[in-house]
Amino acid sequence: MARVRSALRRARLRDEGQRLEVADVVLDARARRVTRGGRPVELTPREFDLLELFMRHTGVALSRERRLKAVWGYEFMGART
């Protein structure tokens, strides 16, 4: 737990309107771009939405319901196989 708390203290989340930063990951919500260590990261739209959700709630355990509502919407019933 001490290591986790220490890591969370070091992780700086800076929300400058549409820009989020956690450690070396920078997310530009307006441009829908992500970089890590200054290098671009290619993400699907769903991956981007999940990353943004997690970055906005750094250090918070998000329930399955909260993640589903935020990224997939209430109507999502699961992937069809």
What range does the domain containing 30 cover?
A: 2-72
Q: What is the pLDDT of residue 17?
A: 56
In a domain, 80, yes or no: no
List average pLDDT for each run of 10 residues in the chain, which is 81 residues long: 60 60 92 95 93 90 86 67 53
pLDDT at 69: 84
CATH number of the domain at 10, please: 1.10.10.10
Order of all β-strands in the sheet with 33-36:
19-22, 25-28, 33-36, 39-41
Identify the pLDDT of residue 66: 86
Domain contains 66: yes
Overall domain count for the chain:
1
pLDDT of residue 15: 42
Q: How far apart are CA 59 and CA 81, in angstroms?
A: 33
The count of other CB atoms within 10 Å of the CB of residue 19 is 14
Q: Does residue 40 form part of some domain?
A: yes
